[in-house]
Structure 1
Amino acid sequence: MAALRTSLRATKKSRLRPRKAIMTLTPKAVEQLQRLFEQPDARLVRIGVKNRGCSGLAYNLEYVDKPGKFDEQVEQDGVKVLVDSKALFSIIGSEMDWIEDKLSARFVFKNPNITEHCGCGESFSVS
């Protein structure tokens, strides 16, 4: 019978890095989303991107009844939003905020992945 040989070898400990957040929500965004979800016909909000504008991509928010098969869920301060799986590469690491001024009220995104954006601010591109 052949003997089994074993040897011990020192290995470096692997360091686990924290997973980068898909997206974060500011307190104002959380408040506005809570107001939206308090409506009698409240549904889920899915965030995605569409091909639009002169730079290629624009954010798209839509109400949905249930998550898509590959949607990612972001939960913060009791608020849940969905991120379309096709938009993950474009959105990862972004911050969603709610801004109100004299002329409008809207969600805005601070996105570290943007490489170019159009002059009007409607669309962007990532590389």
Structure 2
Amino acid sequence: MASTSLRAALAHNIRRPLYAYSRAAATLHASSSSPSLPEQPPTVVPGSSSYTSPPVESGGSHRPSKRPSRMAPQIRASKAALTLTPSAVQRIRSLISGPTPQLVRVGVRNKGCAGMQYHLEYVEGPGKFDEIVQQDGVRVLIDSKALFSIIGSEMDWHEDRMSSKFIFKNPNIVDACGCGESFNVSAT
């Protein structure tokens, strides 16, 4: 019985779950309405969309249509957020060549008379949003919060009799204090 109704449903392009749902809805409707109405079998009216696929030509020369070609993604060379001079590379290499390999993270802090000051620290690994700059076998991390202030800068190591320090040549600086310890960048 079930197989004949299934064959009949398939022959008429009717899906079984739709038929079962219609029958349950008709039964529910019949039980909630007055008993004087006769029970009618559910009817399924096919809509404008057909459940069958369009007929295939039997000529054998049917070829699938060509898909539109996709544009291949272009990889563009991007300028590094921070460039290192050879002396800075050598100094960073000597700083991180200890028994426990660490990385150097460059950031900025709100400090000084002009607004911001560079901050360097040792870290064991990159943060979730840190920018990684790799140059001449040395990896330097840039704190994601400082990226706007540091982008396009050059990091140099300067050493003389009185001091030794990293010097940043930053094209984004619009104001700096007299001693050169703090700076401010443009908002645009």
Q: TM-score, normalised by structure 1?
A: 0.84
- C-alpha separation in 2, matches of 1:20 and 1:37: 25
SS in 1 for 2:167: strand
Alignment of 1:27-42 (within 5 A): 27-42=86-101
> Relative to 1, partners in 2 of residues 1:116 and 1:78: Cα closer, same or farther, differing over 3 Å?
same
Task: Report the Cα offset of residue 38 of structure 1.
Answer: 1.4
1:93 to 152, 176, 179: 152
1:54 to 96, 113, 123: 113
What RMSD in Å do the two structures reach over aligned CA positions?
A: 1.6
Greater relative contact order (CA < 8 Å, ≥ 6 in sequence) = 1
Task: Report the Cα offset of residue 21 of structure 1.
Answer: 1.9
- C-alpha separation in 2, matches of 1:96 and 1:90: 13
Q: Hey, which bits of structure 1, 4+ residues long, moved more than 4 A? A: none
**How many residues are treated as equivalent by the alignment?**
113
Q: Could you give the per-residue CA deviations for residues 62-119 of structure 1, whole angstroms, max 9, x where no partner exists? A: 0011111100000000000100000011000000000001111111100000000000
- Contact 1:36–1:42, Cα closer than 8 Å, also in 2: no
Alignment of 1:61-76 (within 5 A): 61-76=120-135
Q: TM-score, normalised by structure 2?
A: 0.57
Q: Structure 1: which 5+ residue stretches go unaligned?
A: 1-15
1:121 aligned residue:
180
Task: Report the Cα offset of residue 41 of structure 1.
Answer: 3.1
Identity rate of aligned residues, in percent? 64
Task: Tell me which structure has the larger Cα radius of gyration.
Answer: 2
> Relative to 1, partners in 2 of residues 1:62 and 1:117: Cα closer, same or farther, differing over 3 Å?
same
Instruction: Select the structure that is richer in helix.
Output: 2
SS in 1 for 2:109: strand
Instruction: Select the structure that is richer in strand.
Output: 1
Instruction: Say whether residues 1:105 and 2:164 are aligned partners.
Output: yes
Q: Structure 2: which 5+ residue stretches go unaligned?
A: 1-74
Task: Report the Cα offset of residue 51 of structure 1.
Answer: 0.1
